[in-house]
Amino acid sequence: MDTAESSSTSKKIQVHRYKPDDNPDKHFLNEETGLWSWLTTVDHKKIGIMFLSAVTFFFFIGGIMALLVRTELWTPAKTFIEANTYNQIFTLHGAIMVFLFLVPAVPAALGNFILPLQLGAKDVAFPRLNLLSFYLYLTGAFVAVFAILNGGIDTGWTFYTPYSSTTGGAVTTMVFGVFIIGFSSILTGVNFITTIHKMRAPGLTWDKLSLFSWSLYATSIIQILATPVLAITLALLGMERILGIGIFDPAMGGDPVLFQHFFWFYSHPAVYIMIVPGFGVVSEVITTFSRKHIFGYWAIALSSLAIAFISFLVWGHHMFVSGQASLASMVFSFLTFLVGIPTGIKMFNWTATLYKGSIDLKSPLLYIFGFFFLFLVGGLTGIVLASIALDVHLHDTYYVVAHFHFVMVGGMVMALLAGVHYWWPKITGRMYNEIMAKIACGIIFVGFNVTFLPQFVMGSQGMPRRYFNYIEQFQPFHQVSTIGSYILGLGFLMVFYYLVKSLFTGKKATANPWGSRALEWQINTLPPLHNFHHIPVIINGPYDYHKPMEEFQLGLAESTDGHGQESDLEITSDGKEINAE
C-alpha cells in the first residue's frame, strides 16, 4: 500500500510511550549465538561490529608501517631497513590506511550499526548485500596481503603509470585486491542510499533525518559515482601489465596523464568519502553534549551534498605540475577554493551550536574539539595547496603529507574516535573509563601535533615526500616528527586498551547515558535483534532538546514478529496519545 492512498483521511492512532530497557534479557548478541551466527548474519549491527573489528585491525597494521617509516627516517641515510623495503612499507601504509581503514571506517562500521537505528528501520534495505560487502572487503584484503607476500609493491598508494605498469613486484595482484574492495564500497553506497530513501520510519521526514544519516547519504553518492571509475582505472592498469594495451604507457602511444585524470577522478572524491561521514559524527556529538538544537540544520545537511557535488570538479588540482593545460589548472584551482565554502559553513554552524549550550565535556566531545583544531589547520592548508603558484613549490613535499594527515588523522580519525566513544555504550552495552579516555585524547592530540607540525615546516623548506635519504638540515624536524609518532602510537594503544578492558570490567551502560534525543538512544541497550519491538513514531526531530524525553519514546504496538500495518495511517501529532508510565 502506498501512503498516498491514505493521505485524504487522517485516522486517530494510539501512540504509546515505551521507555527503553537498560538491561534487556534478550538482545542482538544473545538471541543468536555462536561463531556461525556471526559469519552468516545479515544483521546490520553484527556486520557493523565485524567491520569495526576489521578496520581496527588494519588501522594497527597500517600504524605499525607508519612507525617503521618514521623510525627509518631518524637518520638522513639508512637507519635499519633497505631503501627498497622502505618503498614497500610506505606504499603499504598508504594503501592499507586508505582502502582498508579510512574508506570503510565510518560508513561500513559505525554507519552500518547506527544508520538503521536512526531511521527506525529493522535493517538496511539489502541485508545480504551488506554481508557480501563485508566478505568482499575481507577477500580484497586477503588478495592485498597475498600481493605483499608475493613480491610486494613500491609504487605508492597512487599507482602512477608508467612506473606502476613497468615496475616489478605484485602490482597486478594488489590492484586486483583494491578492485574487489571497491565493490565492497559500492555495495555499501547502494545499500545506504536505498535504505535512507525507502526504510524510514513513519513520520521520519527528510527534515527530521539525522545529520549523520545526511552525511552518509552524501558519502554514498560519492561512493557510487566515483568508485566505479577507480574500478575501471585499475582494470586498465592490470590489463596494461598483462596485455600491454598501451592506454597509459607513453612508450606504446598511451597517455600517463590520462591515468592521473582517472585516478584522481576517483581519489579526490574518495577523500570526501573518508571525511564527510566524520562530519556527521561531529554533528551528532556536538548537539548531544551541548544539549541544544543543532544550529543551521539545513545548512549542515545540504553542505554535505554540496561537498559531494564539488568533489567531482576538483580532481585536476593534483595535476598542476603534470602537464595539464594552464587554463585547466586555473579552473581547477578556483573550483578547489569552493570546497572551503560548505566546509566553512559546517565549522561555523558547529561552533554556533556550542554557543550558549549547556556543555557537558565528556570524552566524545573532547575528541570533537581536537577535531576542530586539527581539521581547521588541515582545511586551511588545503586552500594553500590549491593556489597554483604555491603548489608548484609545495607539490610532492612533506607539506602535502602534513596537510593530508591533518585532514585524515586529525579530522577523520578524531571524528571516528569521537563516534566510537559516543556510540560505544549502545554498541557494547558497557561504559569505558572516562578519565583514561580524556587522557588518551590529550596524548593523541599532542602526539599528532608533534608528528605533523614539523612536517609543514620541512615541507615548505623543500623536503620531498617519500624520499629514503635526505639532506642533514632536515634531521631535527624528522626526529621530532618520529618522537611524535611514538607518542601518537601510545595514545592509540591506550584507547585500544581501555575500550577492550571495558568489555570485560566496564560498568553496564544505561539505554541513554548521554540523554540524547536521537532515535538510536530511545531503544534498549543492547538493542533487540530487530532493533524495534515497537514501530517508532517520529514526531520530533533528533535535535529537539527543548522538548521532554517522553515525546521521543513513542511507538506503535505491533505483533511480535515485527510486521506493522502502519503505512496506511497518517501520523499527526494531534493523534498521539501519550500514556505516561
Partner 1 sequence: MADHSSSTTHSRFFQHHFVDADQQFATAKLGMWIFLVTEILMFGGLFAAYIVFRLWYPDLFTQASTELNTFWGGVNTVVLIGSSLTVAMAIKSAQLNQKKNIAINLGITLALAAVFMVIKYFEWTHKFELGIFPGQFYDFGGIEHEKANVFFSLYYLMTGLHGIHVLVGMGLMGWLLWRSLNNHFNSEYYTPIEITGLYWHLVDIIWIFLFPLFYLIE
- Interface residues toward partner 1, by CB under 8 A: 1-2, 121-123, 125-127, 129, 186, 189-191, 193-194, 197-199, 224-229, 231-233, 235-236, 239-240, 243-247, 252-255, 258, 262, 530, 559, 561-567
Cα–Cα distance for residue pair 126/134, rounded to 1 Å: 13
CA angle 25, 31, 35 (to 5 degrees): 135
Contact yes or no for 124/130 (Cβ under 8 A) = yes
Contact yes or no for 171/159 (Cβ under 8 A) = yes
What residues have CB less than 8 Å from 222, skipping those under 6 apart? Answer: 189, 269, 270, 272, 273, 276, 308, 311, 312
Contact yes or no for 438/369 (Cβ under 8 A) = no
DSSP letters, 177-209, are HHHHHHHHHHHHHHHHHHHHHH-PPTT--GGGS
Nearer to partner 1 (CB atom), residue 140 or residue 459: 140
DSSP code for 507:
E
- Least CB distance to partner 1 at residue 565 (A): 5
- Least CB distance to partner 1 at residue 97 (A): 24
Nearer to partner 1 (CB atom), residue 396 or residue 566: 566
Nearer to partner 1 (CB atom), residue 71 or residue 194: 194
- Least CB distance to partner 1 at residue 467 (A): 32
Nearer to partner 1 (CB atom), residue 95 or residue 201: 201
147-164 as b/e, with b when 16 or more CB fall inside 10 Å? Answer: bbeebbbbbbbbbbbbeb
- Least CB distance to partner 1 at residue 328 (A): 14
Q: What share of the chain is helix, strand, coil (3-state, %, to 5)?
A: 65, 0, 30
- Least CB distance to partner 1 at residue 255 (A): 6
Nearer to partner 1 (CB atom), residue 190 or residue 436: 190
State the virtual CA torsion across 118, 119, 121, 125 in degrees, nearest 10. -110
Cα–Cα distance for residue pair 199/182, rounded to 1 Å: 25
- Least CB distance to partner 1 at residue 222 (A): 11
- Least CB distance to partner 1 at residue 167 (A): 17
- Least CB distance to partner 1 at residue 125 (A): 5
Nearer to partner 1 (CB atom), residue 191 or residue 363: 191
Cα–Cα distance for residue pair 204/120, rounded to 1 Å: 8
Q: Is the dihedral of CA 211, 214, 220, 225 positive or negative?
A: negative
